Amino acid sequence: MPTSSSSPRLAFVAAATPVARAARAALEKRYAGVVPAQADIIVALGGDGLMLQALHRNIRRRTPIFGMNLGTVGFLLNQYRAGGLIARLKMAREVTLTPLRMLATTTRSQRHEVIAINEISLLRSSRQTARIAVAVDGQMRLPDLHADGVLVATPAGSTAYNLSAHGPIIPLGAGLLALTPINAFRPRRWRGALLPHQTKVEFTVLDPRKRPVAAAADSVEIANVAKVTVTEATDIQLPLLFDPEHDLEERILKEQFAP
């Protein structure tokens, strides 16, 4: 949040829904919106999908983003209110997210580098289970995982797909990543692991032609991968702003006690 006593320059981005577009038009008129490249703060209007898009587009600029929920869940966003926005921004608490970096090599030796804010997942692309070897910091931990897939989630992403796959919820300051299987068949009792955030995880697809696997970093999918390496992208810091009463750390904590 800028320390200047003057009002910050605001850029408004919105989901494609009519309600989000209407809100954007009204807020731009009320607060004299600028383009994102000129903004001190970006205000995202929509749901969690829109927020992830805004974060990805802001990786180079790293401008603080304040989201207001006009979607369904809105886990990464604040409540929508048109009035008092400047005062809310001045009182907002900043949370910094560190994303993951995926290096994926396909069966045709093509290499792809993609950033993920929530999770990186490997998923089977055929009716047969995937067979994946899992190494952690160069040491083989699972030589042959039979599963629908496997994922690595950040703390911010631990309440998303990771939670649906019965992975653990991770507090933001825990310094951990979740390594979670998706419908593991063998070893049947393996439920995943919690890893230090600086860990390097390497996935090797054991039978990529008979049992093809795709890798996804948030919404970006790479088909027919042979090897995927996941590390924390420590060179990227993404600031989010939250109302004090809707702090992200408190939301993640509450999810652990949800009925």
- Residue 48 annotated to the active site: yes
**What single-letter amino acid sits at 197?**
H
**Is 105 within any annotated ligand binding site?**
no
**Is 202 within any annotated ligand binding site?**
no
Q: Which of 48, 207, 218, 247 is catalytic?
A: 48
Q: How far apart are CA 249 and CA 258, in angstroms?
A: 15
Burial of residue 82, with CB atoms counted within 10 A of its CB: 0-12 exposed, 13-18 middle, 19 or more buried: exposed
**Is 118 within any annotated ligand binding site?**
yes
Length of the chain in terms of residues written: 259
Whole-Å CA distances, 220 to 104, 152, 255: 12, 15, 27
**Is 159 within any annotated ligand binding site?**
yes
**What single-letter amino acid sits at 203?**
F
**Is 158 within any annotated ligand binding site?**
no
**Is 58 within any annotated ligand binding site?**
no
**Is 10 within any annotated ligand binding site?**
no
Token pair for 186: 């063998």
Q: How far apart are CA 59 and CA 177, in angstroms?
A: 21
Q: How far apart are CA 57 and CA 42, in angstroms?
A: 11
Binding region for NAD(+): 48-49, 118-119, 146, 148, 156, 159-164
Q: Give the catalytic positions in this structure.
A: 48
Binding region: 48-49, 118-119, 146, 148, 156, 159-164
